[in-house]
Amino acid sequence: MKKRTEARRLAIRDAAGQAFKELGFEGTSMAHLAQRLGYSKATLYSYFDSKEELFYEVLMASTSSQMDAIFKILEKPLFELRKDLTLLGEKITELLYSEEVMAVRRLLLSEAGRKNELGLKCYEAGPAQFLVVISQSLQCAMNRGLLRQSDPVVAALHWRALLESEWIDHFLFSTSTQDSEAKVRATTARAVEAFLLAYGASSSDKN
């Protein structure tokens, strides 16, 4: 019985993911999903309390592998600073500007100002966790003399801002052209350079 229940939950999640891609968040209703699956609305609500919760689960499922790859990099100290920051930055940029994450960011922007727990859940599952682990990694690099001593949380925020600096306006104003691996590499390299100029350890810091 448990396997059948889990299979149905996954079927609902997968169908919702396809519907969100085709119709967008606003264009997808629980009634439409029920009709598409051949279930009753009551069945859907027995698995997911709301469309927002279902959207959140779709997001987590679609981005989990990318998030795991980033956390895996952060499990080890940043020994080869430029190389490690470049690899990390490329993974973060790919995640932030993946179709799935851009979709939820657009949703959160459209829902701004409304009482909605979805924003908080997405923040705690993504940006908040990344901020903690990235700031810890930067603190370790500071302790080893690879970066100048500073507030690691602020440094982590500056790092992410640099990664997004060449992307964010195109995202906000929906003027993005087709992105490529070459663009990710180029923008990340420039972000790494700027970050190291701002936070790199000077000769006196290393002595």
Question: In the structure encoding, which two tokens stand for residue 104, read together?
Answer: 């939820």
Main-chain phi, psi angles of 147, to 5 degrees: -130, 155
Task: For each of the domains in the chain, give its residue range(s) and CATH number, in order of start.
Answer: 1-48 (1.10.10.60), 63-206 (1.10.357.10)
pLDDT, position 207:
41
Write the DSSP string, 94-138.
Answer: HHHTSHHHHHHHHHHHHTTTS--SHHHHHHHHTHHHHHHHHHHHH
pLDDT, position 177:
64
Measured CA to CA, the distance from residue 62 to residue 49 in angstroms comes to: 20
For the packed helices 2-27 and 51-74, what is the interaxial angle rounded to 10 degrees?
100
Q: What is the pLDDT of residues 75-109, one digit of tens each?
A: 889 889 999 999 999 999 999 998 878 877 887 77
pTM: 0.82
pLDDT, position 14:
92
Q: Which residue in the block uniquely carries the two structure tokens 């290393």?
A: 206
Measured CA to CA, the distance from residue 7 to residue 2 in angstroms comes to: 9
Q: What is the pLDDT of residues 149-163, one digit of tens each?
A: 999 999 999 999 999
pLDDT, position 4:
59
Question: Closest Cα partner for 98 from 70, 76, 137, 138?
Answer: 70
Residues 56 and 100: beta-carbon distance below 8 Å: no
Residue 70 has pLDDT above 70, yes or no: yes
Measured CA to CA, the distance from residue 186 to residue 86 in angstroms comes to: 10
Mean pLDDT score across all residues of the chain: 87
Q: What is the pLDDT of residues 174-190, one digit of tens each?
A: 887 667 899 999 999 99
